[in-house]
């Protein structure tokens, strides 16, 4: 198990399966883990506001017997007044772990490089590994397994697409990304996912046709068209993403027992139809709950054995 949790691509299939199994055990019997991080303190850095990330980490560390200290933009200013390296070194003297939800992926890499304690990537502009670990847990709960399932992601080739490519390919799944022209995922991420898939028995498809991506899918996933920090692009993105809404017609291309996922928050009527996200195939609130259990598993693995 790596010392930090920065990208799913840093892990083996076995390590991810172990984390998912630990998350399942924690979810099934929370009291058994109520002292797993007793006496531990985690610094929770937020450049970006959050509902699920903040609540799942803050509640999670508390439920494991530790405590979290929130450091928002007004409490800590990365790059301004103090270097990231100095920030990491100082925090390492005070806490047992650091979670950072930031804009630039390099900030998390720099924190990890200078930190003496585990660093967890709570989200960057490049990837979102905590979310996808919870997503994989959610899909496994529904089907009982992951290998050979097909997950289709429709929308921007963004941080979510990157982590889904890494995570699904590592787990032997068939992952398809359907994106508008000009919004493809990073080619380097796609290439690495293809390498993972060649070893795991999965496959990778990247297409500008959402119907092709969703055909035969066991799970259909989408995300907002304009993420935080892209507000000025919103109107243009809405125009460019026309035809990429996950609606009832698109969901019919998935398998009859296929499920719908969304990392939330959702914009009904844009990237997803209300009839889909609020319909019987939606598991979005199971996903949201599993952020708590999956992140508790990460904290137990990285911090639970520290003395």
Structure tokens at 290: 């599993």
**Interatomic CA distance for residues 212 and 253, integer angstroms:** 9
Q: 101 an active-site residue? A: yes
Q: Among residues 156, 263, 287, 295, which one is catalytic?
A: 263
The arithmetic mean of pLDDT across residues 215-226, rounded, is 96
Percent of the chain scoring above 90 in pLDDT: 90
Q: Among residues 223, 287, 293, 295, which one is catalytic?
A: 223
Residues 41-50 have pLDDT tens digits of 999 999 988 9
Q: From 255, 242, 247, 243, select the one nearest 174 (Cα to Cα).
A: 255
Q: 291 an active-site residue? A: yes
Give the mean pLDDT of the chain. Answer: 95
Q: Among residues 54, 105, 179, 291, which one is catalytic?
A: 291
Look at residue 168 in the predicted model and tell me its pLDDT.
Answer: 98
Phi-psi region of 229 (alpha: psi -120 to 50; beta: other; left: phi over 0): left
The arithmetic mean of pLDDT across residues 70-84, rounded, is 80
Helix 159-170 vs helix 13-28: crossing angle, to nearest 10: 100
Residues 115-129 have pLDDT tens digits of 999 999 999 999 999
Look at residue 307 in the predicted model and tell me its pLDDT.
Answer: 38
Whether 107 contacts 85, CB under 8 Å: no
**Domains of the chain by range and CATH?**
8-128+291-303 (3.40.50.1370), 131-287 (3.40.50.1370)
Q: Among residues 131, 137, 140, 295, which one is catalytic?
A: 131
Q: Among residues 4, 101, 105, 237, which one is catalytic?
A: 101
155-180: burial string, b at 16+ Cβ within 10 Å, e else: bbbbbbbbbbbbbbbbbbbbbbbbbb
3-state secondary structure the chain: CCCCECCHHHCCHHHHHHHHHHHHHHHHCHHHHCCCCCCCEEEEEECCCCCHHHHHHHHHHHHCCCEEEEECCCCCCECCCECHHHHHHHHHHHCCEEEEECCCHHHHHHHHHHCCCCEEEEECCCCCHHHHHHHHHHHHHHHCCCCCCEEEEECCCCHHHHHHHHHHHHCCCEEEEECCCCCCCCHHHHHHHHHHHHHHCCEEEEECCHHHHHCCCCEEEECCCCCCCCHHHHHHHHHHCCCCCECHHHHCCCCCCCEEEECCCCCECCCECHHHHCCCCECHHHHHHHHHHHHHHHHHHHHCCCC
Q: 263 an active-site residue? A: yes
Handedness of CA 259, 262, 268, 269 (dihedral sign): negative
Whether pLDDT at 305 is above 60 = no
Q: 223 an active-site residue? A: yes
Q: 166 an active-site residue? A: no
Residues 157-204 have pLDDT tens digits of 999 999 999 999 999 999 999 999 999 999 999 999 999 999 999 999
Look at residue 306 in the predicted model and tell me its pLDDT.
Answer: 46
Q: Among residues 52, 54, 128, 179, which one is catalytic?
A: 128
**Interatomic CA distance for residues 195 and 269, integer angstroms:** 36
The arithmetic mean of pLDDT across residues 257-279, rounded, is 97
């Amino acid at each position: 198990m790596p010392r930090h949790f920065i990208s799913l691509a840093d892990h083996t299939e076995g390590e991810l399966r172990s984390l998912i199994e630990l998350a399942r055990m924690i979810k099934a019997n929370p009291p058994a883990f109520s002292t797993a991080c007793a006496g531990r303190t985690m610094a929770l850095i937020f450049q970006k506001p959050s509902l699920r990330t903040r609540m799942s980490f803050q509640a999670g560390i508390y439920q494991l017997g530790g405590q979290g200290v929130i450091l928002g933009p007004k409490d800590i200013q990365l790059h301004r007044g103090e270097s990231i390296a100095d920030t990491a070194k100082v925090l390492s003297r005070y806490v047992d772990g650091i979670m950072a939800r930031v804009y630039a992926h390099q900030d998390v890499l720099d924190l990890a490089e200078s930190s003496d304690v585990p660093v967890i990537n709570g989200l960057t502009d490049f990837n979102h590994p905590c979310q996808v670990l919870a997503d994989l847990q959610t899909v496994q709960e529904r089907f009982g397994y992951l290998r050979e399932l097909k997950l289709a992601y429709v929308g921007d080739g963004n941080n979510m697409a990157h982590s889904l490519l890494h995570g699904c390919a590592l787990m032997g799944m068939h992952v398809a990304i359907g994106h508008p022209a000009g919004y493809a995922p990073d080619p380097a991420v796609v290439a690495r996912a293809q390498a993972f898939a060649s070893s795991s028995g999965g496959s990778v498809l990247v297409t500008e046709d959402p119907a092709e991506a969703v055909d035969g899918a066991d799970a259909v996933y989408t995300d907002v068209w304009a993420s935080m920090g892209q507000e000025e692009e919103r109107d243009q993105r809405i125009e460019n993403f026309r035809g990429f809404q996950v609606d009832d017609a698109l969901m019919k291309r998935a398998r009859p027992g296929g499920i719908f996922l969304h990392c939330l928050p959702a914009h009904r009527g844009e990237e997803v139809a209300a009839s889909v996200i609020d319909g019987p195939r939606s598991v979005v609130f199971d996903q949201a709950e599993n952020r708590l259990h999956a992140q508790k598993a990460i904290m137990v693995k990285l911090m639970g054995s520290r003395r």
